[in-house]
Amino acid sequence: MRFSSRIIIILACIGTMSLFCWWLHAGPSLPLQAPGDPLKTNFTFTVDTFLHVQQLRKKKLRSFCRSHTEFQEFLSQDNLQQVILHMMVNTKLEFVYCWVPALGMDSWEQLLHTLAESRHLTMRKPVNSISVPLSALPVNYLRDFNATSIAMILRSYTKVLFIKDPFQRLVTAYMQRFAGEITFNDFIQMILRTKSREVDVLWKPLVSLCWPCLVNYDYILKYGFLGQEVHHLMGRLGMPTDLVPEFADAQFKWTDSWLGKQLASELSSEQKKQLHKAFLWDFAAFGFPDSQLQN
Ligand SMILES: *[C@@H]1O[C@H](CO)[C@@H](O)[C@H](O)[C@H]1NC(C)=O
Ligand SMILES: *[C@@H]1O[C@H](CO)[C@@H](O)[C@H](O)[C@H]1NC(C)=O
């Protein structure tokens, strides 16, 4: 079959799947299932479950950081600019987060924007909160602040990290940028051949994109559960939860996983092994037990 016709078939299937997902989404009381995820057993996703999952994720990350001395250096003037390169700040809501492409963070940023505009918002501030001068823009790059402010922000703001299975990130990058030009297999060969995975933010490992061993993130939110997790996060911080929008990741979970399976089947087990090795840090730091690269 010619490649272009295969792409058409894939896109047609995605369309069908999306409809199916929409139907599932709109349907009554759907239990969300994600094998291997702590949230899978019962999707009465309470705030206790949320906090428990946060503890598990942070524990796993801490253990990764302890056993990888290359990430144990301290945040210093020398590495600061690189570490905070992708970090964004909302000074009004006192949030810092690492911006990862293709992770469905548009809804998150939209939410922060809406909240920041909301006049009746009262923040529940941490006891030792230090105030940093509010900037004119609600969202900025952390790197645009001076060193004193950066240190204060990293100490006192709520720091959020968003994570996504490396293979799903590759699939998204492929669909957005390369599908129709090269096969998925060629794309993967390109990633494996070049050093570009350390350069391109689309698939650079999160461990060296967001530096979770150097930045002490307060919350780790996972793609696939963003709506529920952001809902609980806002509740914890005393912010209105009725403004939390739909996050597309839950809606596309089945499409993503179906497409991931199709594309993974185009790879040899050797390629999968090499990919797993290339993203070993992210797997070690965050798990992703249901990734196509884990079996
Ligand atoms: C899921 O939670 C509900 C409400 O807390 C409970 O009634 C039900 O038994 C639980 N189901 C499972 C499979 O744990
Ligand atoms: C850093 O920026 C803040 C706010 O703009 C300012 O008040 C402070 O003086 C600056 N500090 C230095 C060392 O430039």
Q: Which atom of ligand 1 is nearest to the CA of 44?
A: 2
Within a domain: 122: yes
- The reply to whether ligand 1 has any atom less than 6 angstroms from the CB of 29 is no
d(CA 86, CA 91): 16
Q: What are the start-end ranges of the H helices in the chain?
A: 3-26, 47-67, 77-83, 106-117, 147-156, 166-173, 184-193, 206-209, 226-236, 248-264, 269-278, 280-286
- Smallest CA separation from ligand 1 atom 14, residue: 42
- The pLDDT of 260-282, averaged and rounded, is 94
- pLDDT: which is higher, 48 or 3: 48
- Give the integer Cα–Cα distance in Å for 248 and 245: 9
Residue 293 domain-assigned? no
Is residue 57 pLDDT above 50, yes or no?
A: yes
* 20 assigned to some structural domain: yes
42-to-29, 171, 201, 246 alpha-carbon distances in Å: 12, 28, 34, 20
What does the alpha-carbon distance between residue 263 and residue 208 come to, in Å, rounded to a whole number?
Answer: 26
Domain annotation covers residue 274:
yes
For residue 121, the model assigns a pLDDT of 63
pLDDT, average across residues 46-72: 91
Q: Whose CA is nearest to atom 13 of ligand 2?
A: 148
Q: What is the mean pLDDT of residues 278-292?
A: 93
Counting residues of the chain whose pLDDT is more than 70, the rounded percentage is 76
Domain range enclosing 100: 6-286
The rounded Å distance from CA 147 to ligand 2 centre is: 8
Amino acid found at 188: I
In a domain, 294, yes or no: no
- Report if residue 90 sits inside a domain: yes
pLDDT confidence band for 31 (50 / 70 / 90): very low
Whether residue 148 has pLDDT greater than 70: yes
Gap from CA of 161 to ligand 2 centroid (Å): 27
Whether the per-residue pLDDT at 266 is higher than 90: the answer is yes
C-alpha 211 – ligand 2 centre gap (Å) = 25
End-to-end, the C-alpha distance of the chain in Å comes to 28
Residue pair 236/95 in contact (Cβ under 8 Å)? The answer is: no
Which is more confidently placed, 71 or 196?
A: 71
Q: Which ligand gives the minimal distance to the CA of 41?
A: 1
Q: Which atom of ligand 2 is nearest to the CA of 146?
A: 1
2 has pLDDT over 60: no
129 pLDDT more than 70: no
pLDDT at site 99: 94
Residue 7 has pLDDT above 90, yes or no: no
Q: How confident is the model at residue 44 (pLDDT cuts 50, 70, 90)?
A: low
Mean pLDDT of the chain: 81
In Å, what is the CA distance from 212 to each residue of 5, 89, 100, 106, 286? 42, 16, 13, 21, 10
Residue with tokens 């698939």: 203
Protein residues whose CB sits closer than 6 Å to any atom of ligand 2: 133, 146, 148-149
Q: Tell the residue number behind the tokens 């249901």, with chain if given.
A: 290
Q: Which atom of ligand 2 is nearest to the CA of 132?
A: 4
> What's the rounded Cα separation, in Å, for the pair 214 and 69?
12
* pLDDT beyond 80 at 15: no
**Which has the minimum average pLDDT: 37-41, 44-48, 202-206?**
37-41
C-alpha atoms less than 13 angstroms from C-alpha of 81 in its C-beta half-sphere: 4
In this predicted structure, the answer to whether residue 19 has a pLDDT above a threshold of 80 is: no
Residue 249 lies in a domain: yes
Q: Which amino acid would we find at residue 85?
A: L
Please name the residue whose Cα sits nearest to atom 9 of ligand 1.
42
Query: Where residue 152 falls among pLDDT bands split at 50, 70, 90?
Result: very high
Q: Which amino acid is at 264?
A: A
Residue 207: pLDDT over 90 = yes
Task: Using the predicted structure, report yes or no on whether residue 18 has a pLDDT greater than 90.
Answer: no
- Cα(40) to centroid of ligand 1, in Å? 12
**Residue 162 has what DSSP assignment?**
E
Whole-number Cα distances in Å, 273 to 10, 168, 285: 25, 16, 18
Residues in the chain, overall count:
295
Residue type, position 189, single letter = Q
Q: What are phi and psi of 89, to 5 degrees?
A: -125, 140
42 lines ligand 1 (CB under 6 A): yes
List Cβ neighbours of 266 (8 Å cut-off, separation of 6 or more): 183, 184, 185
Domain contains 253: yes
- Cβ proximity of 102 and 172 under 8 Å: yes
* Residue with more model confidence, 210 or 28: 210
* Total domain count, the chain: 1
